Structure 1
């Protein structure tokens, strides 16, 4: 049975609703990708999440939530002295900002036990991680984490990396540049955002971004640019530019996460790159027209199939 494993940190999400009220859920960049991938991949696929959580009530509730949505939690490690992180979304004209509480987050210990990490990544078909996955790890453990993924890649896994930059999680710009370069070096698929690449690396064009990650060994690169053109490149076909549909965003949370799921799931089920990228953009466009990271209505009412 083929499988898709996302690695990272799922958190308690507090998001705004009308009249100043909030709602509580569970979300996090790579978990969001797993959630959307579960809905896009056939039932013959297993979709799992690899992370660390606590033994407390909210950690157990999170694991139960994942299972209730069809996500396998056998790659979740429980740590008695930790819990899960929390974040709150603030919105301004559809753009979001975040406040975080993650000091006791168990996910930060993902690379403390390399043997466990090796065990849960061995023999996988697709492994997905992000810049946030790396950023929350202690700096000395990022190399350990990527070494394990490199071995999984050597064993036949397709490794996908969404650069997903959160500057506040990194100690310095130098650490960010080193971390993103390290993560991309063990990935077949790299999914950067052009505005972030410009700010961090000084890229003048998406082609500059492609060139850097291509030279680092990536086989497929999709450079997102918000509502602007998507530039895709593969080792075999070169680059192409695709135009997304124009929509008015309500909440851009999980735009990139859902895009990653749409692209990876579509490629895994036989779509060519242009069709997969078009489908991924369509999914992201639906997601940003609704509040919150996870939008089940897209699938329940048939607007996306």
Structure 2
């Protein structure tokens, strides 16, 4: 498997105009996997998602959605007593407002089965997770996850991590910082956002953020900074990659996730970190020009199940 993402896929309700809402599916690690597909070739192997869902109809819809998109769902756990999480996006005071229902979501139990977790991570070339992946788990769950990632890395997998700091999901701020630092320490690639890092870790600038994660053990760091340059720290040293000029964003939802997808796909292809950052900013520019965390990209349609079935019939 080229890339395995681990986290929570949620039901997304957006809109709200005149009481009408549009249902979709999204989640930070799924969003990144969605956009990474656009830069990867299905002939080089599958991409997959690992989480836990219920056995209800909405969980079935999520699995069907992922299957059609060409995302391997074989490792997803199905828990009969749980349901997917839900969030709603509405406009308030000229900006987006999010309301979540995820306290008892099935994804909070994805790491309960250590054997299933290790089986899911065993064959991936790269494994991607985020701070939200850790935050939805109890402490014993994220410790179990980090153990599995450590074993996968020893087996040759590369670990990629976005700290994606969400304090509301943590019961203790010190625990949050400890868990994020522990995940970064065993990661080959870390993809933080400077505004969150400055607030919760006290970094003076993006370079300080990159250097802190490198000191923790990360092999490569690309710090996002909104419309500012991406700061990349890798073997070649510290570099800044400008974000291309673009018009006002239509919807900034998923901007960081889509950057991550473009970046990781480029790195999996063997592209150097600076060029990977350019690929990430180009992907983010496409995504913020449309509504929603997940948009359809023509260059990802080769992954669609109907396209793959058509190719098999042509042979």
When normalised by structure 1's length, the TM-score is 0.93
Q: Please state whether the residue corresponding to 1:212 is helix, strand or coil.
A: helix
- The whole-number CA distance in structure 1 between the counterparts of 2:82 and 2:11 is 14
Q: How many residue pairs are counted as aligned between the two chains?
A: 299
- The whole-number CA distance in structure 1 between the counterparts of 2:95 and 2:131 is 20
Is residue 211–residue 233 contact of structure 2 (8 Å, CA) maintained in 1? Answer: no
- The whole-number CA distance in structure 1 between the counterparts of 2:129 and 2:48 is 12
Is residue 38–residue 297 contact of structure 2 (8 Å, CA) maintained in 1? Answer: no
Q: 1:241 to 1:92 in 2, by over 3 A?
A: farther
**Deviation for aligned residue 1:15:** 1.1
Residue 136 of structure 1 corresponds to 136
Residue 6 of structure 2 corresponds to 7
Residue 164 of structure 2 corresponds to 164
Is residue 37–residue 300 contact of structure 2 (8 Å, CA) maintained in 1? Answer: no
Residue 295 of structure 1 corresponds to 295
Residue by residue, what CA displacement relative to the aligned partner does 1:4-44 show, whole Å, maximum 9, x if unpaired? 10000000001127666321000000011111122221012
Within a 5 Å distance, the mapping from 1:42-57 to structure 2 comes to 42-44=41-43, 45-57=45-57
- The whole-number CA distance in structure 2 between the counterparts of 1:220 and 1:99 is 34
Using CA pairs under 8 Å that are at least 6 residues apart, name the structure with larger relative contact order, 1 or 2. Answer: 2
Residue 173 of structure 2 corresponds to 173
Q: 1:94 to 1:256 in 2, by over 3 A?
A: farther
Question: Is residue 2:124 matched to residue 1:124?
Answer: yes
Residue by residue, what CA displacement relative to the aligned partner does 1:183-209 show, whole Å, maximum 9, x if unpaired? 112211000000001000111011211
Residue 227 of structure 1 corresponds to 227
Question: Is residue 2:34 matched to residue 1:35?
Answer: yes
Give ranges in structure 2 of 5+ residues lacking alignment: 302-315
Residue by residue, what CA displacement relative to the aligned partner does 1:57-104 show, whole Å, maximum 9, x if unpaired? 110110011001110101101111111100111345875331111123
- The whole-number CA distance in structure 1 between the counterparts of 2:92 and 2:238 is 34
- Greater alpha carbon shift after TM alignment, 7-16 vs 133-142: 133-142
- The whole-number CA distance in structure 2 between the counterparts of 1:50 and 1:245 is 33
Give ranges in structure 1 of 5+ residues lacking alignment: none
Q: 1:297 to 1:16 in 2, by over 3 A?
A: farther
- The whole-number CA distance in structure 2 between the counterparts of 1:289 and 1:159 is 30
Q: Please state whether the residue corresponding to 1:295 is helix, strand or coil.
A: coil
Once superposed, what is the RMSD of the aligned Cα atoms? Answer: 1.8
Residue by residue, what CA displacement relative to the aligned partner does 1:224-266 show, whole Å, maximum 9, x if unpaired? 00111110011x2111001102331121111111111100101
Residue 239 of structure 2 corresponds to 240
When normalised by structure 2's length, the TM-score is 0.90
- The whole-number CA distance in structure 2 between the counterparts of 1:103 and 1:274 is 39
Q: Please state whether the residue corresponding to 2:51 is helix, strand or coil.
A: strand
Question: Is residue 2:184 matched to residue 1:184?
Answer: yes
Residue 275 of structure 1 corresponds to 275
- The whole-number CA distance in structure 2 between the counterparts of 1:102 and 1:82 is 11
- The whole-number CA distance in structure 2 between the counterparts of 1:175 and 1:271 is 35
Within a 5 Å distance, the mapping from 1:244-255 to structure 2 comes to 244-247=243-246, 248-255=248-255
- Greater alpha carbon shift after TM alignment, 277-286 vs 177-186: 177-186
Residue 101 of structure 1 corresponds to 101
- The whole-number CA distance in structure 2 between the counterparts of 1:291 and 1:152 is 36
Is residue 7–residue 130 contact of structure 2 (8 Å, CA) maintained in 1? Answer: yes
- The whole-number CA distance in structure 1 between the counterparts of 2:130 and 2:41 is 24
